[in-house]
């Protein structure tokens, strides 16, 4: 298990094209999903679960998540990467974005993130939600942040840079395992 250490986090530099793209993407909804693995019953092992459960559905918070994520476009991939200076992997990207935008500590593991989050069914995916894929033969081995309009941002090892992809691409559509949210229900 990896332990997080509190370090100051600097907001990514936002340029007007990134802000414009984020503003457009935040309003779009699309997607369909299947449920992530069933949550374990019993006492939560992550003390941050209570903080996550208290996140309210607030479009401002969703926009913050998307803005931070888009500010990391073209950051290099690094397996196990936890920060933009050293590079990010998929769960490192999601963890860094949620910590920077909402001060929420997430595990550095896509499958653990899926267990913490609440499944989103049908057309319910919204900007800032998480999308999970099986890209290595293991369930929930890859995670990205849903942007809206069938697009997500992630840190793939292939061509090694944070980028936006379409969930409709055959590669991702065939490996999609579901969407989930860390935001409370309305």
Selection from 109, 122, 143, 147 nearest residue 24 by Cα: 147
- Which residues have a Cβ under 8 Å from the Cβ of 160 and sit 6 or more positions away? 76, 77
Beta carbons of 97 and 105 less than 8 angstroms apart: no
Question: Would residue 142 show up in a list of annotated catalytic residues for this protein?
Answer: yes
Is residue 32 among the annotated active site residues?
A: no
3-state DSSP assignment of residue 120: strand
CA-CA distance, 107 to 52, in Å (whole number)?
12
For residue 12, the Cα-to-chain-centroid distance in whole angstroms is 16
What span, in angstroms and rounded, lies between the C-alpha atoms of 65 and 101? 6
Q: Which of 3, 26, 32, 90 is catalytic?
A: 90
Containing H/E element for 173?
helix 170-175
Cα separation, 149 vs 5, whole angstroms: 35
108 catalytic? Reply is no
- Positions annotated as catalytic residues are 90, 142, 154
């Amino acid at each position: 298990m990896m332990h997080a250490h509190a370090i100051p986090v600097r907001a990514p530099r936002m340029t007007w094209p990134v802000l414009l793209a984020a503003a457009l993407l935040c309003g779009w909804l699309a997607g369909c999903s299947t449920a992530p693995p069933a949550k374990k019953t019993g006492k939560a092992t992550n003390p941050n679960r209570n903080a996550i459960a208290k996140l309210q559905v607030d479009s401002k918070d969703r926009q913050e998540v998307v803005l931070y994520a888009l500010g990391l476009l073209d950051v290099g991939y690094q397996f196990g990467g936890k920060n933009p200076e050293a590079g990010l992997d998929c769960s490192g990207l999601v963890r860094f974005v949620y910590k920077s935008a909402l001060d929420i500590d997430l595990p550095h593991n896509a499958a653990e993130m899926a267990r913490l989050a609440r499944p989103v069914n049908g057309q319910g995916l919204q900007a800032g939600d998480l999308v999970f894929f099986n890209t290595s033969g293991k369930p929930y081995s890859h995670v990205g942040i849903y942007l809206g309009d069938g697009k997500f941002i992630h840190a793939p090892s292939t061509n090694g840079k944070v980028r936006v992809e379409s969930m409709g691409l055959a590669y991702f559509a065939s490996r999609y395992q579901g969407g989930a949210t860390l935001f409370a229900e309305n």
